[in-house]
Amino acid sequence: MVTTSFTPVTSLVGGAMIGLAAVLLMWATGRIAGVSGIAVRLFPPYEDREFAGRLAFVAGLVVAPVLVWLVTGSLPTQTIAAGPAVLIIGGLLTGFGSVWGSGCTSGHGVCGLSRLSVRSLVATMTFMAAGMATVFVMRHWS
């Protein structure tokens, strides 16, 4: 296990940037900044004509580290401890569950809670609890 340091200030600032992006997307396109919803709609069948905009948003997410690296000359550490098997199982569950439950951390956690949606509150409490339970089992039961 890799220990990480408590970073309240940068986390608050970064969180505010995520919030700003969610507000800007609502202002520009009138849509919820839910990454799982945006990502799954990149695949056919298409229900509307927003494909290019969604692709541009996802491209922005992917290019962001490059921009941070160009501006600051370095990138914050990223430690991925999981091996290929855990990554595949984790990825499958994350993808399936987020679409099955109509949203992930951004759609339910950020946008939904901000709209005082009860469905999103239920979803957010559930994935937080499931995430905590999973880490507990993985780290403290084995």
Partner 1 sequence: MAILVQFAIGLIFGMGLIVSGMSNPAKVLNFLDVGGIPAGTWDASLAFVMAGAVAVTFIGFRRVLKLARPFFADRFYLPTRRDIDPRIVTGPAIFGIGWGLAGFCPGPALTALGYGSVSAFIFVAAMCAGMLLARFTAHLPSLTRFVAPADPLET
> What is the closest distance, in whole angstroms, from the C-beta atom of residue 136 to partner 1 in the complex?
5
Residue 42: helix, strand or coil by DSSP?
coil
> What is the closest distance, in whole angstroms, from the C-beta atom of residue 73 to partner 1 in the complex?
14
Nearest-5° Cα angle at 77, 109 to 8: 50
Tokens representing 33 are: 């900044």
Can you list the alpha helix ranges (DSSP code H) found in the chain? 8-29, 35-40, 51-72, 84-100, 113-114, 118-140
> What is the closest distance, in whole angstroms, from the C-beta atom of residue 118 to partner 1 in the complex?
7
Q: What are phi and psi of 108, to 5 degrees?
A: -85, -50
> What is the closest distance, in whole angstroms, from the C-beta atom of residue 45 to partner 1 in the complex?
9
What's the rounded Cα separation, in Å, for the pair 86 and 42? 25
